[in-house]
Amino acid sequence: MAKVILKKKIATGTNALIDVKSYARKIWLAGLGAYAKVGSEGAEYFKELVKTGQHVESKGKKVVIEQLGAANSQIDQVKSELFGVKGRVEVQLDKVESAFDSRVGSALNRIGIPSKHDVETLSAKLDELTALLERVARKH
C-alpha cells in the first residue's frame, strides 16, 4: 500500500512539473508574439501617433494665432484710447501754460519789468534808429 501512495505522489508531482513547463512555454510564446506584433504594427502605430501629433499641433497654433490676434486688437484699442487722452491732456496743458504765461507776464508788467514782446519791439526800434544814424553820419 505504501508503494501505491508513493506512486500517486510521484505521478501528482510529475503532473505539476509538466503543468509548470507548459505554462512557462506559453509565457515565452506570448512574449515572442508580443515582440513580433510590435515589430510589424509598430511602424504603423508610430505613423498614427505622428499624424495625431500634427493635428494637435495645428489646433494649438490656431488657438495661439486667435489669442494673439485678440491681444493685438486690445492693444490697438488701448493705443487709440491713449492717443485721444494724450491729445486732451496736451490741450489742457497748453491752456494751463497760456494762463500761467499770461498771469506771470501781467505780474511782471505791474512791477515794471518789460515783457519779451516789449523788448523785441524796443530792439526793432533801436535797429531802425541805428540805421537812420548811420545814414545821417554818411551824409556829413
Q: pLDDT tens-digit profile of 46-91? A: 788 788 889 989 998 999 999 999 999 999 898 888 888 888 888 8
The C-alpha cell at 42 is 509598430
Q: What pLDDT sits at residue 3?
A: 54
Ordered by start, the domain boundaries in the chain are: 2-139
Buried b (16+ CB within 10 A) or exposed e, 84-103: eeeeeeeeeeeeeeeeeeee
Percent over 90 (pLDDT), the chain: 23
Average confidence score pLDDT of the chain = 82
- On whether the CB atoms of residues 108 and 115 are closer than 8 A, the answer is yes
Identity of the amino acid at 17: L
pLDDT at 138 > cutoff 80: yes
Q: What pLDDT sits at residue 17?
A: 78
How far lies 18's CA from each of 9, 28, 83, in Å?
14, 15, 91
Supply the pTM of this predicted model.
0.37
Q: For residues 115 and 107, what is the distance between their CA atoms, to the nearest angstrom? A: 10
